Homo-oligomer: A and B are copies of this chain.
Amino acid sequence: MTLPTQMNALILKNDGFSGSRTGSDIESLEPYLDHGTLPVPKPGPGQVLVKIRMASVNPSDLYFIKGEYGQPRVKGAAAGFEGVGDVVDGQGLYARYLKGKRVAFVGGVGGSGAWADYIVVPASTCVVVKPAMRDEDAAGHVVNPVTAWTMFDIVKKSGTGSFIFTAAFSQLGKLMAGLSRDNGIKMIAVIRKQSQAAHLTALGASDVLVQSDPDFAAKLAELCKSDKPRILLDAVADQSAADIFAAMPARARWIIYGRLGADAPKITEPGQFIFMDKHIEGFWLAKWFREASMIEKFRTVRAVQNRFITGAWKTEVAARVKLADAMTELPGALRLGDGKVMIVP
């Protein structure tokens, strides 16, 4: 097969970090991206070239293009972390083994991005996708579903009988709800709108608390007493999360994996670290991928794919946007709400 030399891509306009902290809302892509052409990247040793079928849009992508994520932007490179596609070229033994296979990947580091026709990624980070899995499920099955699976593993290993999940009406929250029901560990879902409650309960959350409810604190205190949740999985890291943590029982762990909130939370009860053995820590999927063994990664990915193939999990797609139309259509598609937005070359 002859590869083209040029490809379409959404190209980063800025370098490094912005220093601002405005969250994942995007009015317009103009300040951050250009639609244009780039040379098709060439795989180096140990790398593969993937012809992209579908790329997903995660909150981390939006933070990243705005310069508010934990990794610096590279001006002139394609944006986009995650997707699914076919391996068309590669260097090295494992890369050659992958040739012709459909793989899911997380890239976007070192100059190549998923919001393009092609991406170069390390062969070792590619995940072979089982034939029975839909592109829609495969395109986003590393960042969110693997995060859900690994974070749920932390919950299981802790021995707690329940856990609290903030901003629970996210894709991650929905995935966690199913895992919690299937494993008999109660999920106390904290959400913003009453209208989101029924859907989360149907997916498996045992309790749903609405933050604007005047009885929120009283209901939370009641659940902390009866269910003793020891883990708070939190993507917000604002004062409301700090207040939930303060209300939790002894030995509670606040695990921060995202930063949706803009204010800096206050630790009103530092004595709880001493006398109640509480902890604050973080979770970052990139670190898990760096540190987990090959076997652990393989088992996790297989378990995640099987959940999609059996229908235990299903990716809710809000919109498919063509790469060429993304500059104008993506912001509107992101405002549709429920479900993921996919970018298709």
**A interface list, Cβ under 8 A from B:** 70, 237, 242, 256-259, 261, 264-268, 270-284, 287
Collect the chain B residues with CB atoms within 8 Å of residue A275's CB.
70, 282, 284
- Can you report 24 residue pairs joining A to B where beta carbons are below 8 Å apart? A70-B271, A70-B275, A237-B271, A237-B273, A256-B273, A256-B274, A258-B274, A261-B270, A265-B267, A266-B267, A267-B267, A272-B282, A273-B280, A273-B281, A273-B282, A274-B282, A274-B284, A275-B284, A276-B282, A277-B282, A277-B284, A279-B279, A279-B280, A279-B281
In the bound complex, what is the Cα–Cα distance between A278 and B275 (angstroms)?
21
Of chain B, the residue at the smallest CB distance from A281 is B279
Query: Closest residue to A282 on the B side, CB-wise?
Result: B273
Q: How far is the CA of A266 from the CA of B275 in the complex (A)?
A: 20
Find out whether the CB atom of A283 lies under 8 angstroms from the CB atom of B279.
no
Label chain A's interface by main secondary structure: loop
- Smallest CB–CB gap between A185 and chain B, Å? 23
Question: Which residue of B256, B279, B284 contacts A270 across the interface (Cβ within 8 Å)?
Answer: B256
- Closest Cβ of chain B: how far from A238's Cβ, in Å? 8
Point out the residue from B261, B280, B283 that lies within 8 Å of A280, measured CB to CB: B280
- For residue A270, which residues in chain B have a CB less than 8 angstroms away from its CB? 237, 256, 259, 261, 264-265
A256 to B277, CA, bound (A): 10
Contact present for A266 and B264 (CB under 8 Å): yes
Task: Determine the residue in chain B with the shortest Cβ distance to A256.
Answer: B273
Complex: A167 Cα to B43 Cα, angstroms: 54
Tell which of B261, B264, B274 touches A283, judged by Cβ atoms closer than 8 Å.
Answer: B274
State whether A264 touches B267 (Cβ < 8 A): yes
Q: Tell me if A282 and B287 are in contact (CB < 8 A).
A: no
Contacts of A258 in B (CB 8 A): 274
Across chains A and B, which 3 residue pairs bring their CB atoms closest together, nearest first? A273-B282, A70-B275, A237-B270
- In the complex, how many angstroms separate the beta carbon of A85 from the nearest chain B beta carbon? 27
**Which residue of B is nearest A241, CB measured?**
B270
Given the complex, which residues of B lie within 8 Å of A266, measured CB to CB? 264-267
Residues in B with CB closer than 8 Å to A274 are: 70, 256-259, 282-284
- A270 CA to B235 CA in the complex, in Å? 10
Q: Nearest Cβ in chain B — how far from A116, in angstroms? A: 25
**Which of A242, A271, A277 gathers most chain B CB within 10 Å?**
A271
Apart from A237-B271, A237-B273, A266-B267: 14 A-B pairs, beta carbons within 8 A: A70-B271, A242-B267, A256-B274, A257-B274, A259-B270, A264-B270, A265-B266, A265-B267, A266-B266, A273-B282, A276-B282, A278-B281, A279-B281, A280-B281
